Amino acid sequence: MRKLKLDELNRASVEEFKVLKKFPVAVVLDNVRSMHNIGSVFRTADGFAVEQLCLCGITAQPPHREIEKTALGATQSINWTYHADVLQAIKKLREDGYRIIAVEQAENSIMLNDFKPVAGEKYALIFGNEVNGVSDEAMKNIDACIEIPQFGTKHSFNIVVSAGIVLWDLFSKMEI
């Protein structure tokens, strides 16, 4: 087996990417501290062609060298907005027809493997702070909560790993 070379991957240019049909998902970063995590979520969002990324609260914004280290240019391809307060982002996303879903360990959460996305529906996935998770304010304004099943001793994944797991799961379940 031979690995493909970069020029064999048929990657879209930023201009081509911007007009491609997008995965009907918005990713919301609620007070994410690490700029490397922020950049990696940009890159993951690009990989799944999500509609948009909402940066909220203390979440840093491009352009920033530390974000670009892991984003590798995805800050140019992904549509993103900044909201000083996560509630502003939730309000706007709800007005735009998104179902608001927190990714968190919470009472009455739905295990990811049991979550059944509805065809034709748009989803906004909220990922929280590396230490405190999704903010209490956001949790009071969600439509549902998804939890990733875990079996080890740590009971937490890095936010980027969580984003990759959840986006892949939804991508594999939704008809696009």
Task: Assign a CATH topology to domain 19-173.
Answer: Alpha/beta knot (3.40.1280)
Q: Mean pLDDT across the stretch 111-120?
A: 96
Whole-number mean pLDDT of the chain?
97
Using 50, 70 and 90 to split pLDDT, how confident is the model at 176? low
> Which tens digit of pLDDT belongs to each residue from 63-100?
999 999 999 999 999 999 999 999 999 999 999 999 99
Residue with tokens 């027809």: 97
Nearest to 91 by CA among 28, 154, 38: 28
pLDDT for 175 beyond 90: no
Q: Which residues pair with 53 in a beta bridge?
A: 27, 80
Task: Locate the domains of the chain by residue range.
Answer: 19-173
Cβ-in-10-Å burial (0-12, 13-18, 19+) of 161 comes to middle
Q: Mean pLDDT across the stretch 164-176?
A: 93
What the block records as the tokens of 107 is 């009472």
Asked if residue 30 lies in contact with residue 59, where contact means CB atoms within 8 angstroms, the answer is yes
Global pTM reads: 0.97
Q: Mean pLDDT across the stretch 38-65?
A: 98
